[in-house]
Amino acid sequence: MTSESRKKSIAFIGLGLMGGPMARRLARAGYPITVWNRDTAKAAPLEAEGAVVAASPAEAVRDADIVFTMLTDGNIVGAVLFDGGVAEAMKKGTVLVDTSSIAPSIAREHSAKLAAIGIKHLDAPVSGGVVGADAGTLAIMAGGDADVVSGLSEIFAVLGRVTHVGPSGAGQVCKLANQQIVAVTIGAVAEAMILVQAGGASREAFRNAIRGGFAESRILELHGARMVERNFEPGGSSNNQLKDLKTVMALAEELSLQLPLTQAVTGEFSDFVFEGGGEKDHSGLLLHFENINPKF
């Protein structure tokens, strides 16, 4: 890491399941970092890592060169940036890196509004879950100016692997496509678990048997294990999975696309959340399939 990049100060806003470990990695990499979270209990542990806990998001960003946001949705990102005084508090030339998962149109709107006041913007959502955030192995999909992405390469390297995927909003489009694959694959693995057990085989043995074959995937490895162990504490909640799927379907309608697999799994996640599964991990979709099958 160069001495110049070490001098860059970072603000991190949003310290939930993903933001907390991401901010921790940046602090441990030696970056001066100021953090803020609405629930201060989530910010306090980072003080032990050398982070400064700010009293407000505007205070957090005032002296930062780079500002990361990891918030629930586009409305909250907009409220923090433009209603909470963050945009006004940032100095000209600051780079805002929004790692939240929001609608592409909202990301482009935020980018334009920030550019008008001299702030650079990247939409850079991530994939890899809490495991990837802890390990620094996130897949980071960055939309915006390629030179801005390149200029932050050493900082991104602390968090995972960054790929510039296109202009403003393109990062969010790629994240939505990622969430399609995740949701459909979780659905496929969960349905296979239902079939295997109903047919008299062991779910655990089934998963072990097909590892390394054509059905191998990160979903089978991690979420398949969750289904076998029945561990549905959220790494990625079903509420957030459904939010992203609804955004996918809205974009598909805007683009006049038919996405039947995504539409079907969106309906299943909607039912699961309605049944009370919203705070369970998205691999908990298995519980919904068990609920609708009388054998279980």
- Angle ∠(146,256,250) on CA atoms, nearest 5: 70
Strand 126-127 vs strand 138-143: parallel, antiparallel, or unpaired?
A: antiparallel
Q: Are 13 and 57 in contact (CB under 8 A)?
A: yes
Those residues with Cβ within 8 angstroms of residue 277's Cβ, 6 or more apart along the chain or in another chain? 238, 284, 285, 287, 288
Distance of CA 221 to the CA centre of its chain: 19
The alpha-helical segments, DSSP class H, found in 161-237 are: 170-198, 203-210, 218, 224-229
175 in catalytic set: yes
* Candidates 8, 91, 113, 175; catalytic one: 175
The residues annotated as belonging to the active site are 175
